[in-house]
Amino acid sequence: MQYENRPIYIQIADYLYEMILSGKWTDGERVPSIREMAVQMEVNPNTMTRTYGLLQEQGVIFNKRGIGYFAADKARDMTLRLKREEFIHSELPDFFKKMEFLGMTPEELDELFNRYKESNHEDK
């Protein structure tokens, strides 16, 4: 098992991003309450409050007083941008390092990526 060395509230945030990217939570629509999510994920509601706080800070969700939490109008775009940034900052450097180490060029990568896309389309 891979060890995820990130605090639990960030791990939960990842799960919520996934909900948005997969379309289970739609832009502008109401999302489950902190309590509902805490029950669903069997975690301390305080932890879930922290996660919601993080998403709220990033503008992915917002709180309508007395009604509940809603996904932002551009929640999907924002999440995509956040995840891209995260990918560029935390995963790409390692990837590039490995490419360099193995002597691979961007052209090779381009070709591999195209082939991957084609095979994926054929599958569909």
Partner 1 sequence: MITIDNLTFRYGKKPLFDNLNLSLKEGNIYGLLGMNGAGKTTLLKVLSGQLFRKEGDADVLGFDPGIRHPEMLREIFYLPEEFFLPRTSVEVYLKLYSPFYERFNKEEFEGYCEIFQLDLTQKLSDYSFGQKKKFLLAFGLASGTKLLILDEPTNGLDIPSKSQFRKTVASAITPERSFLISTHQVRDMENLIDPIVILHQGKVILNNTLEEVSSRIRMEKTLGEPAPSESILYSEKVPGGYYSIRKAASPSEESALDLEVLFNGVVTDPMGIGALIGEERA
**Residues contributing to the site for partner 1 (CB under 8 A):** 3-8, 10-11, 35, 38-47, 50
Beta-carbon contacts of residue 99 (< 8 Å; ≥ 6 apart)? 109
- Of 46 and 114, nearer to partner 1 (C-beta) is 46
- Of 1 and 23, nearer to partner 1 (C-beta) is 1
* 37-to-7, 22, 33 alpha-carbon distances in Å: 17, 17, 6
CB of 85 to partner 1, least distance (A): 17
- Of 4 and 100, nearer to partner 1 (C-beta) is 4
Tell me the C-alpha distance between 113 and 21, whole Å: 22
